[in-house]
Amino acid sequence: MTRAQIRAVVVPVVVFGLLAIVPKLAVDIPVLFPGSLDSPGTLQLLALMLTFAGLALTYDLLFGFTGLMSFGHALYFAVGVYVAAVAMTKWHWGFWPSILFTCAVGLLLPVVLGTISLRVTGIAFAMVTLAFAQAGSVLAFKNPGGLTGGEDGFGVDYTKLPSALVGIFNTKNLYWLALVYAAVVFVVGRWAINSSPGKVWQAIRENELRVEVLGMRPFDYKLMSCVLASFLATLGGIVYLMLISGASPDVTTPPFTLALLIMVVIGGTGSRWGALIGGVVYTYLDHRLADLSGSSAVSGLPSVLRVPLREPTFVLGLLFILTVYFAPGGLARLGRIRRRPTTFEEAL
Amino acid sequence: MSTVVLLAITGLGLGAMYFLIASGLSLIYGLMGVLNFAHGAFLTVGAYAMWYSETKLDAVPVVPRFILAALVGLVVGTIVAALVELFLIRPLYGRHIEQVLVTVGLGLCITALIRSIWGPDPKFVALPPWTRETTSVLGASIPNDRWIEIITAALVLLGLNLFLRRTRYGLIVRAGVENRAMVTALGIDVRRAFTLVFAIGGVAAALAGVLSALYFGTVDPERGTSLLIFAFIVVVIGGLGSIGGTAAAAVLVALVQQFANYYASAGMGDLSVVLLLAIVLLARPGGLTAAAPA
């Protein structure tokens, strides 16, 4: 094995291994986290960060590696949250049948919707996926047949969940579940990107016409990428459901997909570590900015600065714009040589 | 019968707003290849500028106050759009993905900023009393503001067509939509037209914002974002870069939405619009007019 190959195994093992022992550490990190690392509050936040890290990576498979700018990725995450929650709570199915059913939906839906939306390319594709996600969002908000609980969503029937995942004492198990999810997406992502269809994805990203001229059908490969990314996002939705033990329509909205886009770009498009880092940073700031801006350092500022800092979306949006201008490779490539800025040109 | 008339005219009023947003989007996309996600924010900025100047002008009688405030809204929307083009989009020419990303971030930032300053709740707008009354047409009581929306959109459609067909800049814009490289090769600086098109889009979006205040009676920070999604659908159905197609699609989408919302159930309208989009894409991937995207 070459050094690069060894590093490709050792680095993830070390990183995920270190993350796995976090719930055993009674270390207090003041300001950054609400409590010591093994407290349920901190573990819950860390678990959310890991779930969104995995989810951001699924979006990066589409956007960063295949060059497909989808604005509807939230839909498949929401499928994981809502279908599982509805099956367990409203239809009173058992845990495993619900999960299996959700996985089946998460596999079939992207096949159908992908087949339709991939008939167009570039910006039209972005808009069509946005429209489909909007349809899902309408379903979640309008509460058809009392299934989705409308604007408030609903809590999942926790008697159906495995007992190891219920209760505040078991937050560490939820944390490990989220960690496993992030690790699975990471490993599957690597396997997919290095497989021969994965090479074609990246070729499509660089120049779709050339792939077609070489005698391949880009449509098949793009559909494959859509289905894999969407299915992994559905799994993420299931993990998220366990974490917050309820379904709320926030995860169906277009801003949620845009949040994924922001995570990937801030972290670094087309980089697996970048997407993970982006998901972690975004989720952390999204949850902690409100608390941090209440701190004494911020409350001393004039109101012109203080008011916008209360809105995490504003700060994150600004960070996102700055990344696009000044660090096009994202956090993962800070300090490295800039990529050619025209790399994604053909994707649109 | 009266219900059908009411739904049709209300649908046209909604379609007028969709058209105003979508025409700007469509022109910007057709000429520059940029899908402007900040377009909804231009709308919200226009609507809030109008609401804010109304609150500052409370000594003025309601009708001139409304007109003055609406003008302020339009001017602010136009200036914001032109500044965005000059300072944020221009440095990224030729990098379409980055341009789209910047507009996405900008849309989020502007909306969040407005929400953090004026709060998430809808603000009531003072409107001329006449717009709150109704006119009877074929037995249906039509709220008067619908006429203003429809007439304004029709005038904008006419004006845009005159601008595109009769003026030199319109010619450059049309040629640029058709073939940007050729226009540049003929020695014309298309980039100056970019700012112009952004400003036109901004004024149309701000106008949509003012009309939406008239239609809903309120302004709120999410207004632009929620209308923008339907405007996107209108642009795709109408065919990117075609003003006539956009107008037809705006009317179609709004009517389908109104009638399905009434005759099926609330929420069905939004779903049927998405279904309509799917059908159009399956039958004619280039949109109704099938104009080749630049």
pLDDT digits (tens, 9 = 90+) for B101-111: 899 999 999 99
CA A198 to chain centre: 20
| B101 chain-A contacts, CB cut-off 8 A | 261, 265, 320, 324
Does A50 have pLDDT greater than 90? yes
Question: How far apart, in whole angstroms, are the C-alpha atoms of residue A228 and residue B205?
Answer: 38
pLDDT tens figures, B52-108: 998 888 888 888 888 999 999 999 999 999 999 989 988 887 788 888 889 999 999
Question: How far apart, in whole angstroms, are the C-alpha atoms of residue B242 and residue B212?
Answer: 24
Question: How far apart, in whole angstroms, are the C-alpha atoms of residue B94 and residue B194?
Answer: 12
Question: How far apart, in whole angstroms, are the C-alpha atoms of residue A98 and residue A93?
Answer: 6
List of residues 6+ apart from A198 with CB closer than 8 A: A65, A192
Residue A28 carries which DSSP code?
B
Task: Kindly determine whether residue A116 and residue B282, on different chains, have CB atoms separated by under 8 Å.
Answer: yes
Chain B closest-CA separation from residue A330 CA (Å): 12
Q: Assign A293 a pLDDT band (cuts: 50, 70, 90).
A: low
Interface test with B, best of A62, A116, A123 (most B CBs within 10 A): A123
Task: Kindly determine whether residue B108 and residue A328, on different chains, have CB atoms separated by under 8 Å.
Answer: no
Task: Kindly determine whether residue B240 and residue A124, on different chains, have CB atoms separated by under 8 Å.
Answer: yes
Q: Which residues of chain B are at the A interface, by a Cβ-Cβ cutoff of 8 Å?
A: 29, 33, 35, 88, 91-92, 94-98, 100-102, 104-106, 108-109, 111-113, 115-117, 225, 229, 232-233, 235-236, 240, 265-267, 270-271, 273-274, 277-278, 281-282, 285, 293
Q: Assign A299 a pLDDT band (cuts: 50, 70, 90).
A: low
Question: How far apart, in whole angstroms, are the C-alpha atoms of residue A329 and residue B12?
Answer: 46
Parallel, antiparallel, or unpaired: how do β-strands B123-124 and B218-219 relate?
antiparallel
Does A99 have pLDDT greater than 90? yes
- Taking the CB of residue B146, how many other CB atoms lie within 10 A of it? 23
Question: How far apart, in whole angstroms, are the C-alpha atoms of residue B199 and residue B81?
Answer: 6
pLDDT tens figures, A264-286: 999 988 888 999 999 999 999 88
Task: Kindly determine whether residue A321 and residue B106, on different chains, have CB atoms separated by under 8 Å.
Answer: yes
Question: Taking the model in full, what pTM does it have?
Answer: 0.86
Task: Kindly determine whether residue A307 and residue B117, on different chains, have CB atoms separated by under 8 Å.
Answer: yes
Q: Which helix (H) or strand (E) holds A154?
A: strand A154-155
Task: Compare CB distances from A317 to B95, B105, B235 and report the shortest one's residue.
Answer: B105
Q: Is A65 exposed, middle or buried (0-12, 13-18, 19+ CB in 10 A)?
A: buried
List of residues 6+ apart from A33 with CB closer than 8 A: A42, A45
pLDDT tens figures, B145-167: 888 899 999 999 999 999 988 88
DSSP E strand stretches across chain B: 123-124, 134-137, 140-143, 218-219
Q: Match 């199915």 to its residue by tokens.
A: A93
Q: Is A254 exposed, middle or buried (0-12, 13-18, 19+ CB in 10 A)?
A: buried
When pLDDT is averaged across residues A229-234 and rounded to a whole number, the result is 96
Task: Compare CB distances from A127 to B91, B96, B236 and report the shortest one's residue.
Answer: B236
Low-confidence ranges of chain B (pLDDT < 50): 291-294
Q: Is B153 exposed, middle or buried (0-12, 13-18, 19+ CB in 10 A)?
A: buried
Q: How far is CA A121 from CA A129, A133, A228, A231, B89, in A?
A: 11, 17, 19, 21, 22
Residue B18 carries which DSSP code?
H
Q: What is the sign of the dihedral through the CA atoms of B115, B121, B126 and B128?
A: positive
Cα-based angle A302, B222, A248 (whole degrees, multiple of 5):
100
pLDDT reported for residue A217: 92
pLDDT tens figures, A51-97: 999 999 999 999 999 999 898 999 999 999 999 999 999 899 989 99
> Looking at this protein, which amino acid is placed at residue B213?
A
Answer whether A116's CB lies under 8 Å from A128's CB: yes
Q: Name the residue in chain A with its Cα closest to that of B118.
A: A307
Written as six digits, the tokens of A233 are: 């996002």
> Looking at this protein, which amino acid is placed at residue B282?
L
Parallel, antiparallel, or unpaired: how do β-strands A154-155 and A246-247 relate?
antiparallel
Does A294 have pLDDT greater than 70? no
> Looking at this protein, which amino acid is placed at residue B248?
A
Question: How far apart, in whole angstroms, are the C-alpha atoms of residue A38 and residue A171?
Answer: 9
Up-side HSE of residue A235: CA atoms within 13 Å toward CB?
Answer: 22
Q: How many CB pairs under 8 A join A and B?
A: 133
Does A126 have pLDDT greater than 60? yes
Q: Name the residue in chain B with its Cα closest to that of A306.
A: B116
- What are all long-range contacts of A12-21, with beta carbons under 8 Å and residues at least 24 apart? A12/A183, A12/A186, A12/A187, A16/A179, A16/A182, A16/A183, A16/A186, A19/A50, A19/A179, A20/A176, A20/A179
Task: Kindly determine whether residue A130 and residue B232, on different chains, have CB atoms separated by under 8 Å.
Answer: yes
pLDDT tens figures, A155-209: 888 888 888 888 778 888 999 999 999 999 999 999 999 999 999 999 999 889 9
pLDDT reported for residue A346: 43
Q: Which helix (H) or strand (E) holds B33?
A: none
Residue B124 carries which DSSP code?
E
Answer whether A254's CB lies under 8 Å from B226's CB: no
Q: What is the sign of the dihedral through the CA atoms of B200, B201, B207 and B211?
A: positive
pLDDT reported for residue A336: 59
Chain A closest-CA separation from residue B146 CA (Å): 26
Task: Kindly determine whether residue B274 and residue A255, on different chains, have CB atoms separated by under 8 Å.
Answer: no
